[in-house]
Chains A and B, each alone.
Chain A
Amino acid sequence: MTSRVEETGSTFDESHPPGGGKQVRRLDRVVIRFAGDSGDGMQLTGDRFTSETAGFGNDLSTLPNFPAEIRAPAGTLPGVSSFQLHFADHDILTPGDAPDVLVAMNPAALKANLGDLPRGAEIIVNTDEFTKRALAKVGWSADPLDDGTLAEFRVHPVALTTLTVEALKTTSLARKDAERAKNMFALGLLSWMYHRPTEGTEGFLRSKFARKPEIAEANVLAFRAGWNYGETTESFAVSYEVAPAAKAFAPGRYRNISGNLALAYGLIAASRQSGLSLFLGSYPITPASDILHELSKHKNFGVRTFQAEDEIAGIGAALGAAFGGALGVTTTSGPGVALKSETIGLAVSLELPLLVVDIQRGGPSTGLPTKTEQADLLQAMFGRNGEAPVPIVAPASPGECFGMALEAARIALAYRTPVFLLSDGYLANGSEPWRVPEVSELPDLRVEFATEPNAPDGSDGFWPYLRDPETLARPWAVPGTPGLEHRIGGIEKQDGTGNISYDPANHDHMVRTRQAKIDGITVPDLVVDDPSGDAKLLVLGWGSTFGPIAAGVRRARAAGGKVAQAHLRYLNPFPANLGDLLGRYDRVLVPEMNLGQLAMLLRARYLVDARSFTQVSGMPFKAQQLAAVISEALGGN
């Protein structure tokens, strides 16, 4: 951890290159937001800039933000799609509260994002789209480029469409197709402004459009034209350098990774490390579908992906595969979890390993499919009939999705239980630099299937519910094993024999045993970050709020506040030291993107006066917002 304060304004040095070239300023960090129509390719543009930036060695964090509609009406406010990227020469924790630079491809993109811009921000606008008609579509009667609306910003008017079409004159592309490359012109211009390496993007374009070399060349041409435009035109007098974040990273090999990709890789790694073949049963749902897409590419790892007829069949097939000895996984989002609940209950009763991955989104019901929220915690915790405890883990950053997938698998396999992994839209689509682990560092998840009769009476019988005294896990005997034929099901079982039992005392015993098994799962102790050593306030979060909370805490500390921070990755069971830790602080502040679900659990479990700070806007917390809340909790100090 560094003590550097994040997001309190950029510092820069100026330099003029010899020979009277353009001025270069050195910044320690920048937040850029690309915004345009859903069809303008803003997510791709952002991804490419991110890739260039990651390769350059900056620390970074991203926030894609797009509507649920695939192509909302062009030029309208609901159709605006954006991609925000924060990069720095030091370690950073969030995609940034507010953009320093906005690239607005049309009036709607400008209007939708204007409110987020701080005074003095730079705006690059595509003036070609600022027609009367387009302005009227978003309710502007006058052109904001001329009427003083943008007086407090540094505006760079660029005829992006015209310049792109001009640059592609030599190609045989129709005007309409040529115009489509304007996002690459914008990317080229920004790449020049921030000294990004360009080879990666050119290579990417050539391989993406390998089957349409003409389109590939046009995009490369537009990209280069944008870069050259920055280099030559007078309207861009300054370019910026953000040095690599040399000290932010431990040594190693790095790549940029999104949460969903890291999760998919974590599942493949869990399959490898356990020696079990991976079976994914899933039904398409935003924002989880990318995991299905990714895993379906890796059949050469023995990965079976099954796109089911519905959410219920997705988890049903995964459970069936688990019965057969596979690592069964289902991936979904909140509404899908609701449909899967009955099968999760069956898995609790069958005591078979199963991973349930919930990429949370705004709810209830369909809610906000493309926006983030962490309001499924209580659903994961309690959303089943009967006493049906399920372990829950939650990664705190995109890269952590990899390790937490392995952890979820460890718990499921060792304790023969379904396990929830709670990610969310912010982690799923956001990305960050990730140290690529060596395979030798990964945990050993091998399991032993039952192979011999185990009846305590010495007969050759098999008792499917005869438990391991330490973990309380039952034996996993897979079909195909001679002599261990047995029947399991959702009706209450006699402990040990697994025979159907309606005996009151046995049911009471089984309910308590299933609970005790989950309560007894070994999870790492919670680590508190308290540099002062005598903080009275603990800020405790879980899941994707880690970045904004940590950034808010840094600010509060920079202002002299003594504040401790801890972040839960294990929500059921809680770390064994949690109760003790909570008791050490006078105040506990729990920021959550729900109405206080973790706070409710903490209050119920530990009788601690945990205070909630909540936001359910579909957007992540901002560092400034949390810094203010922390400062208030510290008594305004």
Chain B
Amino acid sequence: MATELTLTAKDFKSDQEVRWCPGCGDYAILAAVQGFLPELGIARENIVFVSGIGCSSRFPYYLNTYGMHSIHGRAPAIATGLASSRPDLSVWVITGDGDALSIGGNHLIHALRRNVNLKILLFNNRIYGLTKGQYSPTSEPGKITKSTPMGSLDEPFRPLSLALGAEASFVARTIDSDRKHLTSVLRAAAEHQGTALVEIYQNCNIFNDGAFEVLKDPETRDAALLRLEHGQPYTVDGVEHLHDVTDPDPTRAFALSRMSEPTPIGVLRAVARPTYDSQLNAQLDQAVTERGAGDLSTLLSGSDTWMVR
């Protein structure tokens, strides 16, 4: 940027009325994102938020950047096309546990393995909110909901395990109500080159209230949380480990992604790997270097023509 940007959270608020339920965890995430975006130092017009469908996917309407509210589950695919053809943009995907892990599971895993330069914020409230309270792919087994009056039967996904299995280069978890931690994770995700998956535990106070209460209650949270810091030690079952997010071997990160008591938060993995978009665009440059810029007339003629006079 040629000129110093002096944007504030206010600059990222759109003129649209926010319409989540009062008390929804999404408000806190929106405030944290609006508060964080100025520190990126990127002009508003160069930021794009793409979402799918669900409560969280209304997010782009409330940000004064470019945005697209797309189709259930398809935001990573749409964002892949945008980020691949416009590497100058900062592209963010807003999704939820149903959007990303159920209907959109395929696009999520492929975006992660490709390592397109996308920041995916997965709001996990372990419930379907916008369709009024069915169980989700992250709901605990036996969940009693409108669609499962005798209890749900599915084994839930662990989103971070799934992401690591899909060869994700950046995987992190944070909590809606912990603004400081949320902001630090957003910062790390933004700095990462490639696809970053950030799972944000988010409270749905209407259909699944208190799902993460033990992680938030000042009485219980210190014991319930395992706060990960790169370069700092952490202890599991009495054994101390040094947390290294850059470890090329994902085994430790995977072990952390399986833990629930305590629940790890912070960055689990952040490894450097070439991004899809930079490599795609490098191939375009390479093709021009090797063969020269394409000439339409030569292309259309091909090598085998004849004249009719």
Contacts and interface: CB of A to CB of B under 8 A. Distances in A.
Interface string B1-29: 00000000000001010000000000000
For the complex of A and B, 3 pairs with smallest distance between CB atoms: A489-B69, A317-B81, A320-B81
Interface size class of A (residues with CB under 8 A): 35 or more
8 contacts: A255-B302, A281-B81, A300-B294, A306-B280, A316-B71, A323-B82, A439-B300, A487-B14
Given A316-B74, A325-B86, A251 B45 contact: no
Contacts of A321: 81-82, 84-86
Given A255-B304, A320-B50, A438-B297, 16 more contacts: A253-B306, A300-B291, A301-B294, A301-B299, A303-B284, A316-B74, A316-B78, A317-B77, A321-B82, A324-B85, A343-B71, A485-B65, A487-B14, A489-B61, A489-B69, A500-B61
Contacts of A499: 16
A255 B305 contact: yes
A253 B300 CA distance: 11
A246 B110 CA distance: 54
Contact of A312 (B77, B304, B308): B77
A178 interface: no
Contacts of B159: none
A86 interface: no
Given A299-B283, A313-B74, A328-B81, A250 B308 contact: yes
Contact of B85 (A304, A343, A481, A486): A304
A512 B229 CA distance: 56
A54 B86 CA distance: 42
B220 interface: no
A438 B300 CA distance: 9
Interface in A273-324: 277, 279, 281, 298-304, 306, 308-310, 312-313, 316-324
B31 interface: no
A57 B306 contact: yes
Interface size class of B (residues with CB under 8 A): 35 or more
A394 interface: no
Contacts of A281: 81
Contact of B110 (A251, A309, A323, A437): A309
Interface in B267-309: 280-281, 283-284, 286-288, 290-294, 296-297, 299-302, 304-309
Interface string A595-632: 00000000000000000000000000000000000000
Nearest to B61: A487
Nearest to A325: B86
A488 B85 contact: no
Interface of A: 51, 54-55, 57, 200, 246, 249-256, 265, 268-269, 272, 277, 279, 281, 298-304, 306, 308-310, 312-313, 316-326, 328, 342-343, 346, 350, 435-439, 479-491, 499-500
A265 B60 CA distance: 37
B79 interface: yes
Contacts of A436: 300-301, 305
A298 B299 contact: yes
B45 A55 contact: no
B66 A318 contact: no
B161 interface: no
A588 B168 CA distance: 60
A300 B293 contact: yes
Contacts of B296: 268-269, 272, 301, 439
B89 interface: yes
B234 to A, nearest CB: 35
